[in-house]
Amino acid sequence: MTEEYGAVLVLGSATPDIDSYFKAQNGLYQLLELPERLTPYRGASLPKTERVDMRTELSEGNRSIFSRNLHASIEKVLAKHEQAILFINRRGGASFIQCRDCGYVAMCKSCDTLLTYHPDQENLVCHQCGRHYPNPLTCPNCKSRRIKYLGMGTQKLEEETAGFSSGKTASLG
């Protein structure tokens, strides 16, 4: 994908996985180390952050996963033909599914981990062991049809970014 878009791939971690570390040690990746955190007292400034209560956004009619301020900021960046990067470290379309009537949550039968909904495959996937399960139309516990898809992953983020007036999206998830 990096070749297709002429992009640079950056893998960032305080504790890289053994495969990435091995590739860096053998020259397949370039390892850049940051031995200590940049802090304001060393002349660097931390990025500006804003905490948003999405319950307020929802009560005021905003049903998007983006706050109105974030949406406006991204539109402003795209209007100047600049780039915006949205990072989410969860794959899939929904982090988990839950029955609205009995509270059942879909779990992997092998490793007791939450199952992630993947809309492109129309199934549930365990990201721990890789098992796939059919997407239930009714709750396996109480047979209710009131299944709720909760949380967010890269596929959901990609769907939501289609609402911006310009710009292209690429996903590694």
- State pLDDT tens for residues 110-151: 988 889 888 888 899 988 889 999 999 999 999 999 999 887
- Above 70 in pLDDT, residue 168? no
Q: What's the distance, Cα to Cα, between the start and end of the chain in Å?
A: 12
Residues 1-24 pLDDT 10s: 667 777 777 777 777 788 888 988
> Pick from 142, 93, 144: which is nearest to 119 by CA?
93
pLDDT in tens, 140-152: 999 999 999 887 7
- With a cut of 90, say whether residue 41 has pLDDT above it: no
Give the residue extent of every domain in the chain: 2-49+85-161
pLDDT for 53-75, tens place per residue?
988 998 999 988 889 999 999 99
Go through the chain and tell me how many residues it has.
173
Q: Which residue would you say has higher pLDDT here, 77 or 48?
A: 77
Q: Which two tokens stand for residue 96?
A: 């988990």
Contact 127, 118 (CB under 8 A): no
What is the separation of C-alpha 86 from the centre of its chain, rounded to a whole number of angstroms?
8
Q: Which residues contact 144 (CB under 8 A, 6 or more apart)?
A: 99, 100, 101, 102, 138
In this structure, the number of other CB atoms found within 10 A of the CB of residue 11 comes to: 11
List all residues 6 or more positions away from 154 whose beta carbon is below 8 Å from its beta carbon: 88, 90, 91, 92, 171, 172, 173
- The amino acid at residue 133 is Y
Per DSSP, the three-state class of 107 is: strand
Residue 172 has pLDDT above 60, yes or no: no
Three-state secondary structure call for residue 39: coil
Confidence band for 170, pLDDT divided at 50, 70 and 90: low
In the structure encoding, which two tokens stand for residue 59, read together? 């009560």
